[in-house]
Structure 1
Amino acid sequence: MPCKLLLAALVCIWLQRCEAGRQMPKLSDKKLCADSECSHPILIARALQDYYPGDCRFIPIRQGQLVYVYAMLKDRGNLFWAGSVQDSYYGQQEARVGHFPSSVVEETHPLMPATTEVKTTKWDFYCH
C-alpha cells in the first residue's frame, strides 16, 4: 500500500511539472513595438473593466488599473496587446508581462510610437 501512495504522489508531481511549462498556440506572427526588443512601453492605458484570463498567456486586469503596453499583436485586427499591470500599491502584485484584449483598456498616455515590426517567437506564448 505505501508503494501505491508513493507512486500516486510521484505521478501528481510529474503532471504538475508538465503543466508548468508548455507551448501555447500563437496569437499572432508579428507584433508592433517601440524597439526591436519590445523593452520600452508604447503607452499607458487604464482598464475599463475587469478581465479574467482564459489561460496562462494572458494577465488578469482589474477595472481602473494602469497597464503599461509593450507590444500590439499585428494579426487579427490588433485584438490583443502585451503589457504589465501596475497595481495601486507598489510591490502589491508581482510584475508579469502577458496578453490581454485591447478592448478592455483605454489609452491614457502615449509614450513612444509603435513603429518597429517584430516577429513573435515561441517564448511570446509560452506558459511558465
Structure 2
Amino acid sequence: MAFRLFLALSVMLFLTACEAGKQMPKLSNKKLCADSECSHPILIAQALQDYYPGDCRFIPIRQGQLVYVYAMLKDRGNLFWAGSVQNTYYGEQEARIGHFPSSVVEETHALMPATTEVKTTNWDFYCN
C-alpha cells in the first residue's frame, strides 16, 4: 500500500513538473524591436501602477519600478510590450523578462527606435 501511494505521488509530481514548462498561446505574430534579435532595449518606462500577471508569459511589476522595453507586440494595437524589471540593487530577485500591458507604464527615456519587424516564435511565449 505504501509503495502504491509513493508511486502515485511520484507520477503526480512528474506530471506537474512536465506542465511547468509548456507552450502558451501566442499574443502576437509580430513584434517591433531595435534589432533582429530584440537584444537592445528600445526604451525605459516607469510603472504607473502595480501589475499582477495572470500567467507565466507576463511579469509582475510594482508601481514606480523601471522597466526596460525590448519589444512591442504588433498585432493587437500595441497592447503588450516585452521587457525586464529588476528589484533594487540589493534585492534578492534577479531581473525577470516577460510581457506586460503597455498601459501600466509610461515612457521615461527613448533609447533606440523600434523599426525592425520580427516574427514571434513559440519560445516568445514559452513558460518555464
Could you say if the C-alpha distance between residues 110 and 90 of structure 1 is closer, same or farther in structure 2, counting changes exceeding 3 Å? Answer: farther
Quote how far apart the aligned CAs of 1:94 are.
1.7
Q: Percent identity?
A: 84
2:12 corresponds to 1:12? yes
Give the aligned partner of residue 3 of structure 2. Answer: 3
Q: Which runs of 5+ in 2 are unaligned?
A: none
Please name the residue that 1:64 is paired with: 64
CA separation of 1:35 and 1:90: change in aligned 2, threshold 3 A: farther
Aligned length: 128
Distance between the aligned counterparts of 1:93 and 1:125, measured in 2? 21
Offset from partner CA, 1:88-109 (integer Å, 9 cap, x none) = 2255322121000000000000
Would you say the 8 A contact 2:43–2:69 is kept in 1?
Answer: yes
Structure 1: runs of 5+ lacking an equivalent: none
- Structure 1 runs of 4+ aligned residues shifted over 6 Å read none
- Superimposed CA distance per residue, residues 57-113 of structure 1 (whole angstroms, 9 cap, x where no aligned partner): 000000000000000000110000000002222553221210000000000000000
- Secondary structure of the 1:17 match is helix
Taking the aligned partners of 2:6 and 2:109, their CA distance within structure 1 comes to 55
Q: CA RMSD in A?
A: 1.0
Letter in 2 for 1:60: P
Question: What is the correspondence of 1:99-118 to structure 2 with a 5 Å cutoff?
Answer: 99-118=99-118
Matched residue, 1:45: 45
